Amino acid sequence: MTSRVRRLFGRHEMVLLGVTVLLSIVIGALNPAFYSLQNAFDLLKTSVPLGILTIGLLVVLISGGIDISFPAIAVAGMYITCTLAIDVRSLDHLPALLAISTAIGLALGLFNAVLIHFFRLPALIVTLGTASVIRGALLEFVGTRTITNLPPSIIAFSRTNLFEATLANGASAALTVSILFFAGVAIAVALALRYTVIGRGAYAVGADLAAAERVGFNVRRIHLFVYGLMGALAGLVGIIHASIIRNANPLDLDGLELTVIAAAVIGGASITGGRGTVTGALLGVALMVIMDGSLVLVGLPSQWHQVFIGLVVLVSTSITALRTRSARAGEIAR
């Protein structure tokens, strides 16, 4: 059974890879600048916040849950941490700020988990509610103004690159250091999902909660883990986002949950739980980033941007859904 399922995902990921490569070839044919080093670095930078959040959401989806509060959590971590660091100058060290924002995210994520696990409330409703409360409270109690004079350590972080090059026209291309966080999170979560009890438990709970409970998985721990992880990663993303755009706007990241859910689902994560892989999620992120980040490049008129994005999302999710259905039909027939 497991080997069969794994083979199926292997195939889904191959299809997705094919779609992404095809899209890249089409874009590259329309504008060869797509293949430039600069563009590759830009796309990688754009993928960092989206990618980390998608990995976090993947784990939630695998466990059969959903979370739409993570953009609000990311903004809360970012804005509270930046506000704090401006008032308390001695806190202005990158590890400290990352830790504070991640801790804020973790706390909010665990709060979600408590409501979902102990009060048995639907995750969609819980996270919808906490998202509203977090955003409202942030404006009411912390502040409404965009912080443009960020703590110097965050500015320094935004200027730290793994690799820099100067191009022919005098422009520079740089690969942001924050890509390491993305890589680290992806590897750690992939290993956790495969080799740890809690990771296997997430799949089990998502596939069949009652069965997982009966065979002895600690459902409470799994719920705390998946929502806590989502929150913590959102907190981390908050600081990375601030460093990318060099400001902290308490209204930022609105609507990001849709892009992240789309990336995870395109990547093969099942919205009903039990299925999904880090590799698939990474491919989903790649597809979203390449698609969204190439519309100006190919010279598509603005009014067509939304249409195009909608079409690609529809086609990719349809392929996923159809393949899943035919696979299920195959199982039943047997």
Partner 1 sequence: MHVPRVVIAASLAAVCTLTACSRKAASSASVPTPAHRYTIATVGKVEGIAWFEDMKKGVQKFAADTGQEAFMQSPAQADGAQQVQIIENLIAQKVDAICVVPFSVEAVEPVLKKARDQGILVIAHEASSAQNADLIIEPFDNAAYGRHLMERLAQEMGGEGDYATFVGSLNSKSHTEWVDAGVAYQREKYPKMHDVADKIEDYEDQNKAYQKMKELLIAHPTLKGVQTSAMGTAAGAGLAVEERGLQKQVAIVGTSLASVSGQYIKSGSVRMISFWDPALAGYAMNKIAVMMLEGQKITAGTNLGLPGYESLVQSKDKPNLFFGSAWIDITKDNLDQYMQ
Closest approach of partner 1 to the CB of residue 152, in Å:
13
* 166 sits near partner 1 (criterion: CB under 8 A): yes
Candidate ranges 3-11, 162-170, 197-205, 206-214; the one touching partner 1 (CB under 8 A): 162-170
* 77 sits near partner 1 (criterion: CB under 8 A): no
| Angle 320-62-184 from CA coordinates, rounded to 5° | 100
**How many CB atoms are located within 10 Å of the residue 152 CB?**
13
Instruction: Determine which residue in the list 250, 273, 276, 284 makes contact with partner 1, applying CB under 8 A.
Output: 250
- Rounded Cα–Cα distance for residues 77 and 255 (Å): 17
- Rounded Cα–Cα distance for residues 260 and 288 (Å): 9
Kindly identify the residues of this chain, within the stretch 177-236, that bind partner 1 according to CB under 8 A.
none
The overall longest dimension of the chain from CA atoms, in Å, is 66
| Residue 99 or 177 with smaller CB distance to partner 1 | 177
- Rounded Cα–Cα distance for residues 181 and 237 (Å): 9
Q: Which amino acid is at 204?
A: A
Closest approach of partner 1 to the CB of residue 334, in Å:
39
* 95 sits near partner 1 (criterion: CB under 8 A): no
Contact 121, 242 (CB under 8 A): no
| Residue 25 or 33 with smaller CB distance to partner 1 | 33
* 24 sits near partner 1 (criterion: CB under 8 A): no
**How many CB atoms are located within 10 Å of the residue 22 CB?**
10
Q: Regarding beta strands 161-166 and 172-176, do their DSSP bridges make them parallel or antiparallel, or are they unpaired? A: antiparallel
| Angle 284-228-247 from CA coordinates, rounded to 5° | 70
Instruction: Determine which residue in the list 305, 308, 317, 324 makes contact with partner 1, applying CB under 8 A.
Output: 305
Residue 26 C-beta-side C-alpha neighbours within 13 Å: 11
**How many CB atoms are located within 10 Å of the residue 6 CB?**
11
H-helix segments, 141-218: 152-158, 179-195, 197-207, 209-214
Candidate ranges 14-22, 209-217, 287-295, 318-326; the one touching partner 1 (CB under 8 A): 287-295
Closest approach of partner 1 to the CB of residue 100, in Å:
22
Q: What sign does the CA torsion over 193, 104, 236, 317 have?
A: positive
Q: What sign does the CA torsion over 261, 264, 268, 272 have?
A: negative
* 32 sits near partner 1 (criterion: CB under 8 A): no
Instruction: Determine which residue in the list 112, 294, 316, 320 makes contact with partner 1, applying CB under 8 A.
Output: 294
Q: Nearest 5°: phi and psi at 173?
A: -120, 135
| Residue 74 or 224 with smaller CB distance to partner 1 | 74
Q: Which two tokens stand for residue 247?
A: 């400001």
Closest approach of partner 1 to the CB of residue 47, in Å:
11
| Residue 139 or 215 with smaller CB distance to partner 1 | 139
Instruction: Determine which residue in the list 303, 332, 333, 334 makes contact with partner 1, applying CB under 8 A.
Output: 303
* 147 sits near partner 1 (criterion: CB under 8 A): no
Candidate ranges 29-37, 191-199, 226-234, 277-285; the one touching partner 1 (CB under 8 A): 29-37
* 81 sits near partner 1 (criterion: CB under 8 A): no
Candidate ranges 90-98, 168-176, 197-205, 208-216; the one touching partner 1 (CB under 8 A): 168-176
CA nearest to 227, candidates 116, 125, 128, 75: 116
* 135 sits near partner 1 (criterion: CB under 8 A): yes
Q: Binding residues for partner 1, per CB under 8 A?
A: 31, 33, 36, 38-39, 42, 46, 68, 128-129, 131-133, 135-136, 139-140, 144-146, 148, 166, 169-172, 174, 241, 244-247, 249-252, 254-255, 258, 293-297, 299, 301-303, 305
